Amino acid sequence: MKKIFPKSLKKGDKIAIISPAGSVDSTQLEKGLQMIKDKGFEPVLGENLYTKYSNGYNYAGTEAQRSHDMNWALNDTEISAVWASRGGYGCQHLVENLNLKNFKKNPKWYIGYSDNTVIQSYLLKKGFASIHGQTVKTSSFGVTDKSYDLTFDILQGKSLKYNLNSNQLNRKGNCEGELIGGNLALIYALLGTKYSFDFKDKILFIEDIGENFYALDRMIMSLELSGVFNKISGLIIGGMTNMGDEKENKQYEESFDGFAYQVISDRISKYDFPVVFGFPNGHIKDNRPLIIGSEVSLKIGKTVSLNFKK
């Protein structure tokens, strides 16, 4: 299926801000909303953006309320892009309720990461690309201005290419294919469902936060047992933040967790696809956007280049 890329935004266009998963306070979005205005765009707040509903987790409203805001944002003809306020948990509740009737006539960029991987997998199954990038909420560890600037570059139709230093765990090689993926826990959670990514001949990106090392290994094992590593043409590993039990591995409290990387490296050692470790995307300060659904070329040698072709 040929992927559809939303049209570029122009100054003055409206960007819907919604909370599809966890709840947020208005103070947490002040900086992000002001930034959108400073870039020349108009943020339009979803009806339930700041709603709170506690049901074992602090959601941004009931499933019906969050579905309402998502469908409004995707289908309103005055909206040119949809930007998630945050991740957390809850996007899986929405996919059975989504309506793309008007969206298909006027596709728009969806921006988010973490739990938003579910929405991005859903959109990709329907043939639409999206932006795996920083949410409107700036995280506790901060976000670089460059991370946001690159997202606005994509929204305005500029090309995207990354040139990076190599990591000692990298596996050299070149590959081309469609970029898929996002948060590992959600990729894992979607396995076996009709909303799971199609992995055949794809370049898979993964990142995660706050998982014990045994849980990380379990998720990687599930990908292996599902045949994912026999299907993909390349693998990109981003941030692995606050991984493991502090009592076990205090020395690995960092964005690119060395032990987490070793767990992954060991598990995929029998495969021969090219692998990048330490890519700047995930629950990290330097969270540079990726275009899910884009055709990319990946070259790994003394340095790493990732070129987005569309």
Mean pLDDT of the chain: 95
With cut-offs at 50, 70 and 90, classify the pLDDT of residue 1: confident
What does the pLDDT read at residue 284? 93
- pLDDT tens-place string over residues 227-240: 999 999 999 999 99
pLDDT over 70 at 209, yes or no: yes
With cut-offs at 50, 70 and 90, classify the pLDDT of residue 254: low
> 3-class DSSP state for residue 183?
strand
Question: Average pLDDT in the 299-307 region?
Answer: 98
Residues 26 and 295: their CA atoms lie apart, in Å, by 37
To the query of whether residue 121 is one of the catalytic residues in this protein, the response is no
From the candidates 68, 207, 211, 255, give the one annotated as an active-site residue. 207
Strand pairing report for 303-308 and 295-300: antiparallel
pLDDT over 90 at 197, yes or no: yes
What does the pLDDT read at residue 157? 96
Contacts of 195 (CB under 8 A, 6+ apart): 95, 118, 121, 122, 125
To the query of whether residue 114 is one of the catalytic residues in this protein, the response is yes
From the candidates 114, 147, 233, 294, give the one annotated as an active-site residue. 114
CB 179 within 8 A of CB 290: yes
To the query of whether residue 47 is one of the catalytic residues in this protein, the response is no
What does the pLDDT read at residue 250? 47
CB 288 within 8 A of CB 150: yes
pLDDT over 70 at 251, yes or no: no
With cut-offs at 50, 70 and 90, classify the pLDDT of residue 122: very high
- pLDDT tens-place string over residues 168-191: 999 999 999 999 999 999 999 999
Domains of the chain as residue ranges with CATH: 14-155 (3.40.50.10740), 161-283+292-308 (3.50.30.60)
With cut-offs at 50, 70 and 90, classify the pLDDT of residue 252: very low
Question: Average pLDDT in the 277-296 region?
Answer: 96
